[in-house]
Structure 1
Amino acid sequence: MLKTVGQALFSTGLQYPKHNVESKGDDYEVRRYEATNWVSTTLMGMDGDAAMNAGFRRLFKYIQGENERGEKVEMTAPVTCRIEPGAGPACESTFTVSFFIPEQHQADPPKPTSPDIHIENRPEFTAFVRTYGGFSLEEMAREEHLKLVESLRRDGLEFREAPYYRAGYDSPFKLINRRNEVWLLQ
């Protein structure tokens, strides 16, 4: 437990999903991610930051042993949040918060005991990725998302505008050199 708590607090020694950088634009990368399993939870609402916090807490319980095996699972990075915007400005969005499942559990992840959590198999995908620092709240992520959209349009690239992803690599206790990303899929 101390190792997992330390990883969550200090963001050190974390596993990441495997990917290759295929190319780089002026202010983004094009990455190809391998097919992997993630543990996920979906929430509805209008507040992305509240959804991220609630989703993180649900998933943290899973990695602390609230699964069919009672097995602790190491913390990984990034924590992603797939955002499917609602149809209008006053409509609820769908937020799917996910943790990458570590390599040692990829072939056979522990099954969740909570009905609010599921194992998600993400097939191989290509993402356009914009990286930025600081403490990323919903408004900042939305601004970075719009900057990424502008960059991809400027460069004449085809992409899906929705859903988009927020990705965070650091514990809330890490104060400097923070890494956040927004992803759009090809």
Structure 2
Amino acid sequence: MALISLEDLDGLDDEPMADDMADESEATEEMERQRLLSHWQAVGRTHHVSVPAEMMGPIQEMTHHNQQREQIPFTPISRKDKLGEVLYEEKMCPAGKWACVKRGEKLYEQSISNAFMTLMRFICKENSTGRYLGMTIPIVNNIHMMEDGSTFENDVLTAYYLPSEFQANPPQPTDPEVSIVFRPPFRVLARTFLGTTTEETVSRQINQLWEHLGPSGDFQRDNYMVAVYENPGISHRRNEIWFLYRES
């Protein structure tokens, strides 16, 4: 029978115990949660909003499923290129059901940030299925212009296209601020831009697209959409400005 030496006994104190390893793992997970929350809170401050601690669950859920995103099934129609750059493209957004939140904060970026947090909670279990629904892209923000044609109205509608799994039978929100809306198909002219989406940056994109188009009576001038393809935690995220065709 093998004997335990004094050296073996001395070494026992140096070996990690199961409880110690579990405590260390929990501490590491908690540090990661706090790091993630701090990052989102820092991003929130750039949009002049507060990200409360209770958003930790939805943030973790969205981060965990970040690579599993369903693209809205657009139908491409045409595009305009110049020197290898895509100036804009025309596409059709399909008919479908959207979960929508309307907010009217002082700043555009406050409205879209607070609305998106409400939608995150709906997507991450605050719905009649009680489970994560899945993320679709892009999230679309609908803005209206005041009579001067350059100032945003306070009310902004933020919309999430329901995943194909739920289009026929949409989950019902537990928060009355979220409404399920059917939208018929609509045609847009889209131009891609990178970065944050504030009233200043969106206004600049609207003006640039008008410069590319020149005089045109085909599009609405008091109603635009901003499509966001990546979460607010990404600084150079991909967005599109959408011009809406006038109804014939």
Contact 1:29/1:128 (CA < 8 Å) preserved in 2?
A: yes
Matching residue of 2:244: 185
**Residue segments in structure 1 that go unaligned for 5+ positions in a row:** none
Question: Normalising by the residue count of structure 1, what TM-score does the alignment of the two structures yield?
Answer: 0.87
Q: How does 1:34-73 map to 2 (within 5 A)?
A: 34-73=94-133
- CA-CA distance at 1:39 after TM superposition: 0.5
CA RMSD of aligned residues (A): 2.2
**What is the CA deviation profile of residues 157-177 of structure 1, one whole-angstrom value per residue up to 9, with x for unaligned ones?**
61112210111111233345x
Cα distance in 1 between the residues matched to 2:106 and 2:147: 12
Contact 1:16 1:100 in 2 (8 A): no
For 1:120 and 1:13, the matched residues in 2 are separated by: 24
The answer to whether the aligner puts 1:135 opposite 2:196 as a matched pair is yes
Q: 1:10-64 deviations in whole A, cap 9, x for unaligned?
A: 5x33112111211112411001111011110011234110001100011111011
What does the per-residue CA deviation read over 1:42-92, in whole Å, with 9 as the maximum and x for residues that have no partner?
112341100011000111110111123323211221111100223457884
* Between 117-126 and 61-70, the greater mean CA deviation after superposition: 61-70
Among 173, 176, 181, the residue aligned to 1:112: 173
Q: Following the alignment from structure 1 to structure 2, what is the Cα–Cα distance between the partners of residues 145 and 67?
A: 35
Alpha-carbon displacement from aligned partner over 1:140-182 (angstroms, at most 9, x marks no partner):
111101212232335x461112210111111233345x31111
Percent of matched pairs sharing the same residue: 27
Relative to structure 1, is the Cα distance of residues 91 and 75 closer, same or farther in structure 2, using a 3 angstrom cutoff? closer
1:53 partner SS: helix
- TM-score, normalised by the number of residues in structure 2: 0.66
Q: Is the 8 A contact 2:71 2:137 kept in 1?
A: yes
Greater Cα offset, 78-87 or 115-124: 78-87
Q: When the two structures are aligned, how many residues end up with a matched partner?
A: 181
- Give 5+ residue unaligned stretches, structure 2: 1-57, 82-86
Residues 1:13 and 2:68 are matched in the alignment: yes
* 1:76 aligns to 2:131 (yes or no): no
Would you say 1:95 and 2:153 are equivalent positions? no
User: Hey, what's the Cα distance between the residues in 2 that align with 1:147 and 1:87?
Assistant: 20
**Residues 93 and 86 of structure 1, relative CA distance in 2, 3 Å threshold:** farther
Q: Structure 1 residues 157 and 6, CA, compared in 2 at 3 Å: closer, same or farther? A: farther
SS at match of 2:71: coil
> Which structure ranks higher in relative contact order (CA pairs < 8 Å, sequence separation ≥ 6)?
1
Give the direction of change, closer, same or farther, for the CA distance of 1:150–1:46 in structure 2 (3 Å limit). Answer: farther
